[in-house]
Amino acid sequence: MGWLSGRVAIVTGASKGIGRAVSRVFAHEGASVVCAARSEALLEETAGMIRADGGKSLAIVADVSTEDGARSVVEQGVEVFGHVDCLINNAGDSGPTKPVEDYPFDEWRYTIDSCLTSSYLCARFAVPEMIRAGRGTIVNIASMAGRRGLPYRIGYCSAKAGQIGMTYGLALELGRHNITVNAVLPGAVEGDRIERVIAAQAEARGSSPEEVKKVFLQRSPLRRMTSADDIAYAAVFLCSDHARNISGQCLPVNAGEPAS
């Protein structure tokens, strides 16, 4: 018996990285997983991995930063699995690395919508299902960048700060329905995405990727980056009965990186 046996989880941004890790770990812990993302090929890879491991999954190609996309994911998940217990708001784009004077409005809106608006919309449509069930858990995959900021990445930092604020507000609003709402705050997470961020930061600062990566690692007392699985297991804990009295909290998973 896994920590999430019998539960149904929606994971957005499930096609790769943290979202793929969360989907696989949730399935390993017994959850039926609704995997949502925009990339059909990569999404099917995630769902296929879950099924190959003996788990249950449903792949839904959707843009959850739109009302139709978010509604469709929840409705299809309920249609197939009967209910929704857990929502993992992981969808989002890292956004451009540019000084504010060169930061195009359309890229600002895209970054805010992909990270923050998607979280609001998925909660909007999933919460009524949780209320009907008498329980639920929401975990927002935010970022340490939402607490301390990063230069040249105001869109991403603003969106992640918004997710943290949403976590506090929804926890207060939904507690009476036995719904917990928390956030996981990753630091630098191993993978292609952080390598792209490091390269872009190096270019913006007129530095080398090696120097920027050294700065990232020096923030951590453990002198290492976090893995996607580390984030996934934190989310499993917050969605389990072991965390039933934890709500309105932000859990940094960042190898000890300080908040400021």
Spell 22-38 as b/e; 16+ CB within 10 A means b. bbbbbbbbbbbbbbbbb
Query: What is residue 84's three-state secondary structure?
Result: coil
Residue pair 205/162 in contact by the 8 Å Cβ criterion: no
Query: What is residue 71's three-state secondary structure?
Result: helix
Tally of CA atoms within 13 A in the half-sphere of 179 that contains its CB? 27
Residue for token pair 């300080």: 258
Per the annotation, the verdict on 120 as an active-site residue is no
Among 103, 156, 168, 233, the active-site one is 156
How does DSSP assign 120-181, residue by residue?
A: HHHHHHHHHHHHHHT-EEEEEE--THHHH--TT-HHHHHHHHHHHHHHHHHHHHHGGGTEEE
Comparing C-alpha atoms, which of 143, 145, 137 is closest to residue 182? 137
- The residues facing 61 across adjacent strands are 37
Which residues are the active-site residues? Answer: 156
